[in-house]
Each structure stands twice: as structure tokens, then as C-alpha cells.
Amino acid sequence: MTRLNLVLLVAVLASAIYLVHTQYESRRLFTELDRAIAEARRLDTEHQRLQVEKRAQATPLRVEKIARDQLKMRTATPAITQYVSDPQGAAVAAASTAAQPGGVQP
């Protein structure tokens, strides 16, 4: 009978240790999950902030201002526009026009 009691005592102690370990592991995993959720929330907020910042950086007015101030670019006007002719392109265009039936020019 004492042997049975000893086996049952060992079984109860093993069960208690397993229960404590399981509860500890459960709390540890819950804490880890809570941290992961908080990190996901933080990353989502940062992503939204970066999207807003990206939209603000890409406004046409800001792009034009940076092009003018930092890159020293200016708007193309007829006074500073130079037209380049392509002699080969003109010959090809003339040949294709002549090859069209009826000699109709586009």
C-alpha cells in the first residue's frame, strides 16, 4: 500500500510540475504575443505616416520648387528651345509618303 501511495505522490508532483510549466509557458507566449501585436501596431502607424510623407513629398508644386532651387532647372520657353532636325528621319518620312497610294501626306 505504501508503494502505491509513493507512486501516486510522484504522479501528483509530476502533474503539478507539468501544470506550473504549462502555465509559465502560456504566460510567456501571451506576453510575446502582446509584444508582437504592439510592434505590428507601431509598424502600421509608421507605415501610414510614411505614406502621408511620401504623398507630401511628391506634390507637383514641391517637385517644381526643388527642380528650380536645387537643380537650377527652369521652364522651357520658345526663347531657349532648340529644335534639332534629323536628316535621315526626313528622308525616311519622304520615302514613306511617296510609297503611300495616292501620295497623300499625313
Report if residue 106 sits inside a domain: no
Please tell me the total count of domains within the chain. Answer: 1
* Residue range(s) defining the domain that contains residue 37: 2-77
User: How confident is residue 82, by pLDDT bands cut at 50, 70 and 90?
Assistant: confident
Report if residue 99 sits inside a domain: no
From residue 78, alpha-carbon distances to 71, 84, 97 in Å are 21, 14, 29
Condensed to tens digits (0 to 9), the pLDDT of residues 19-73 reads 999 999 999 999 999 999 999 999 999 999 999 999 998 899 988 999 999 999 8
Report if residue 32 sits inside a domain: yes
Alpha-carbon distance of 88 to 106, in angstroms, equals 18
Report if residue 97 sits inside a domain: no
Q: Is the pLDDT of residue 102 over 60?
A: no
Mean pLDDT computed over 73-85: 84
User: How confident is residue 101, by pLDDT bands cut at 50, 70 and 90?
Assistant: low
Alpha-carbon distance of 89 to 94, in angstroms, equals 9
Report if residue 36 sits inside a domain: yes
Report if residue 51 sits inside a domain: yes
Report if residue 102 sits inside a domain: no
pTM: 0.52
Report if residue 24 sits inside a domain: yes
